[in-house]
Amino acid sequence: MSFYGSLIDNSPAIIIAIPLAFAFLTPLIDRFLGKSIRNFWAVLGVLLAGIMTFVMAYEVLGTGNAIEYVFGGPNGMDFPLTGGHPVRITFYVDGMGAFMGLIMAVVSMAAVIYSVSFIKKFTGGEKYFTLLFLMLAANFGMVFTGDLFNLFVWFEVSSVAVCGLTVFRTNRGESFEGAAKYLIYCTIGGLLLLFAIGLLYGEYGHLNINMLGEAIAGSAASKGLIMTDKIVLGILVSVFALKAGSVPMHMATPDAYSEAPAPITAMFVTASQAGLYALFRTGFTLYGSNAFTYANDTFTVKLPDLLELVHVAGWIIIILGVLSMFVGVTLALVQKDIKRLMAYHAISQTGYMLLGVGVGMAVLATADFTEFGRTAMAGGIFHIFNHALYKGLLFLTAGAIIYKAGTRDLNKMGGLGRDMKFTAVFFIIGALAIAGVPPMNGFSSKLLIYESVFRFNPVIGAIAMLVSLLTLASFVKVFYSAFMGPKKKEMKGGEVPNSMLIGMAVLAGMIVVFSIAPSLVVRSLVDPAVEALTGVAGDTSRNLTLFTGEGAWNTIVFLGAVLMAVIVALILHSRGQKGTVPKGEGKKPYLWGNPTEIDGRPIVVPGSNVYWGFTQALKKYFDPMDRLHSGLINEYVFWLILMAGIVIATLGFWGVVF
């Protein structure tokens, strides 16, 4: 076998091994070779892992064949279909796994490059990079793993590494609090997950996800769905929704997100998305995709009971998604801590992904799936990548803002745009993308979700659009508070160091590429992922227009139209009367009816007051929300257990009581 062939065969293991080896060598390198070599070493490690992931993804997505890898088995071992022991550590990388791996690779590259300068202010850099690499390995592990027990192990590694990084700033009490809350959440989630895996193993004697899926389908075919199947699905849905940070299991997430160092928060987002990935794996590979066969554009339902269970789970995920979108964005609107605000937006955006894929699950294997369900799923999965890019970028810009401003309070910032021009541009790119403003990448994925979800249920579609508006509103507030206005005296001047700018530029560049050619990304990355989950292939014709089933979107045409509008405007402007200057009151720019200057001093409305009227009018909504987010972990755990109980009971008693 050629070198390249064996490299590809071993790639899932190598991608895990690189971060692990670099993690354990980092402390030694730091001690014996110094800090600058250590930083170089860290960048090298993440680049190696990234290149390896690109090579593997190219192979998996190009050939369409999944890579199956058995640890410690003889070379070319045929597993799990024939022979061998059914309990082996296996990796299984298909289109969806490769897609998620790419996300982890891109965001971690940006985060590590950004960290090189960012970490200089702090001591303990070797611990930081060690934990960062462990977290990266755990992220890769969660999305590559082929068996459930291994998934649990990576789930725990990820939780521990994230908590270790969240308390990186040991001088802050808040970081201990945030990490402890997140650790308790993840431990409860991990124990529930272990319990579910135990139930499945006791029932079917397998741990491999594909084999378990076949075993569940086989048992459902012979004796109908048993209680274990339903309860396990309930537990898994609630555990992975918790890991993804969906409302109402989100309460520890903003605390941890906002306290972790900025590059870590960017990777934290991908760690949460690994939970999302596991949720989709559960819904489709473990349960849904064995209930039907798909050939010649028609579905043949083999197991209606199992399919109905998956539909109900899809509805639960939709409800969680809508809750996450709405509660996340409304709570983000009232925040004054810049990172907390963005953390709530992360929750809100997670809702879109849950919504898109939830709709796909709720109409799986019906005629509606080919009508709009597949588009909704493509939108939800495309949104995962977009979210990782723009949310990672926004957290990195937040880190840059805090780096220069020395505060995270929006009310105390101002005028940073005068010195930090690059950061401001990056922030605008990220903010437009997250708000889904055309022609950014966030718009293309949201368009897929809007149009398909609107056909599924118009009310939910309308909520999705409203949430986008509120998102834009709250980022206008951040931009206004941080970058605009007069410069504050206590702010340090100048732009952030180059490595931080490069880190942000990596993500911003990816966003621009994704914005210009969204349909190519959908065709080459997203469609294979959807196919891996459902077995339904997408449209294979490649062109630059993205078809949503209802309409179409082409960035180039849009930009051309904008250009023409600008030219028309310029022509009209040039033909107008020259030299008109506004006189009198018209000269003064007004802001919400108040003069912008009093006695020669500029007036700046603090960030937390910008939407004062809005929040005051909705007091009846915000006051109970404020009381619910009490900061007490006991209450948070109560909500978590309550929600998990509701989900488990709904799925467990479906068909029995309901």
Per CB under 8 A, the segment of 10-18, 404-412, 416-424, 465-473 that binds another protein is 10-18
Q: Please identify which residue in 4, 6, 293, 558 interacts with another protein, judged by CB under 8 A.
A: 6
Tokens of 172: 């802050």
Q: Please identify which residue in 2, 72, 576, 601 interacts with another protein, judged by CB under 8 A.
A: 72
Report if residue 473 touches another protein, rule: CB under 8 A: no
Q: How far is the CB of 76 from another protein (least distance, A)?
A: 9
Of 6 and 498, which has the nearer Cβ to another protein? Answer: 6
The residue count for binding another protein (CB under 8 A) is: 21
- 22 by Cβ neighbours in 10 Å (0-12 / 13-18 / 19+) ranks as buried
* Single-letter amino acid code for the residue at 271: A
Report if residue 152 touches another protein, rule: CB under 8 A: no
Per CB under 8 A, the segment of 23-31, 394-402, 463-471, 577-585 that binds another protein is 23-31
Per CB under 8 A, the segment of 65-73, 306-314, 419-427, 492-500 that binds another protein is 65-73
Of 137 and 249, which has the nearer Cβ to another protein? Answer: 137
Site string for another protein, 74-113 (x = CB under 8 A): xx--------------------------------------
Q: Please identify which residue in 36, 65, 170, 543 interacts with another protein, judged by CB under 8 A.
A: 170
Burial profile 166-203: b = 16 or more Cβ within 10 angstroms, e = fewer: bbbeeeeeebebbbbbbbbbbebbbebbbebbebbeeb
Report if residue 144 touches another protein, rule: CB under 8 A: no
What sign has the CA pseudo-torsion 35, 40, 41, 47?
positive
Q: Please identify which residue in 8, 52, 69, 451 interacts with another protein, judged by CB under 8 A.
A: 69
Q: How far is the CB of 282 from another protein (least distance, A)?
A: 26
Report if residue 10 touches another protein, rule: CB under 8 A: yes
Pairing of strands 546-547, 552-553: antiparallel
Of 17 and 649, which has the nearer Cβ to another protein? Answer: 17
Per CB under 8 A, the segment of 17-25, 160-168, 423-431, 641-649 that binds another protein is 17-25
Q: Please identify which residue in 2, 4, 8, 21 interacts with another protein, judged by CB under 8 A.
A: 21
Q: How far is the CB of 147 from another protein (least distance, A)?
A: 15
Per CB under 8 A, the segment of 18-26, 158-166, 347-355, 443-451 that binds another protein is 18-26
Tell me the three state secondary structure of residue 230.
helix
Of 14 and 506, which has the nearer Cβ to another protein? Answer: 14
Asked whether the beta carbons of 138 and 158 are under 8 A apart, the reply is yes
593 — alpha (psi -120 to 50), left (phi > 0) or beta?
Answer: left
Pairing of strands 594-595, 590-591: antiparallel
Report if residue 556 touches another protein, rule: CB under 8 A: no
Asked whether the beta carbons of 556 and 520 are under 8 A apart, the reply is no
Of 60 and 363, which has the nearer Cβ to another protein? Answer: 60
Report if residue 24 touches another protein, rule: CB under 8 A: yes
Pairing of strands 292-295, 90-93: unpaired
Per CB under 8 A, the segment of 12-20, 52-60, 477-485, 495-503 that binds another protein is 12-20
> In angstroms, rounded to a whole number, what is the distance separating the alpha carbons of residues 45 and 598?
55
Q: How far is the CB of 70 from another protein (least distance, A)?
A: 8
Of 29 and 448, which has the nearer Cβ to another protein? Answer: 29
Q: How far is the CB of 218 from another protein (least distance, A)?
A: 30
Contacts for 491 with CB less than 8 Å, ≥ 6 apart: 404, 405, 406, 413, 414, 415, 416
> In angstroms, rounded to a whole number, what is the distance separating the alpha carbons of residues 29 and 50?
21
**Which residue in 46, 71, 101, 37 sits closest to 529, CA to CA?**
101
- Give the single-character DSSP code of 208: B
Of 8 and 504, which has the nearer Cβ to another protein? Answer: 8
> What is the distance between the terminal CA atoms of the chain, rounded to a whole angstrom?
57
> In angstroms, rounded to a whole number, what is the distance separating the alpha carbons of residues 611 and 121?
35
Distances (CA, A) of 324 to 295, 320, 346: 36, 6, 9
Q: Please identify which residue in 41, 43, 58, 73 interacts with another protein, judged by CB under 8 A.
A: 73
Of 6 and 65, which has the nearer Cβ to another protein? Answer: 6
ω into 439 cis (within 30 of 0): yes
Q: How far is the CB of 602 from another protein (least distance, A)?
A: 44
Report if residue 25 touches another protein, rule: CB under 8 A: yes
**How many CA atoms within 13 Å lie on the side-chain side of 180?**
10
Report if residue 123 touches another protein, rule: CB under 8 A: no
Report if residue 44 touches another protein, rule: CB under 8 A: no
Asked whether the beta carbons of 430 and 511 are under 8 A apart, the reply is yes
> In angstroms, rounded to a whole number, what is the distance separating the alpha carbons of residues 238 and 273?
14
Distances (CA, A) of 13 to 48, 137, 515: 13, 10, 33
Q: Please identify which residue in 4, 40, 71, 592 interacts with another protein, judged by CB under 8 A.
A: 71
Tell me the three state secondary structure of residue 93.
strand
Give me the count of residues in the chain: 658
Q: How far is the CB of 73 from another protein (least distance, A)?
A: 7
Per CB under 8 A, the segment of 14-22, 141-149, 440-448, 638-646 that binds another protein is 14-22
- Give the single-character DSSP code of 570: H
Of 24 and 40, which has the nearer Cβ to another protein? Answer: 24
Q: Please identify which residue in 28, 226, 617, 625 interacts with another protein, judged by CB under 8 A.
A: 28
Of 4 and 24, which has the nearer Cβ to another protein? Answer: 24
Q: How far is the CB of 8 from another protein (least distance, A)?
A: 13
Asked whether the beta carbons of 118 and 261 are under 8 A apart, the reply is yes
62 — alpha (psi -120 to 50), left (phi > 0) or beta?
Answer: alpha
Provide the binding-site residues for another protein, judged by CB under 8 A. Answer: 6, 10, 13-14, 17, 20-21, 23-25, 27-28, 31, 69-75, 170
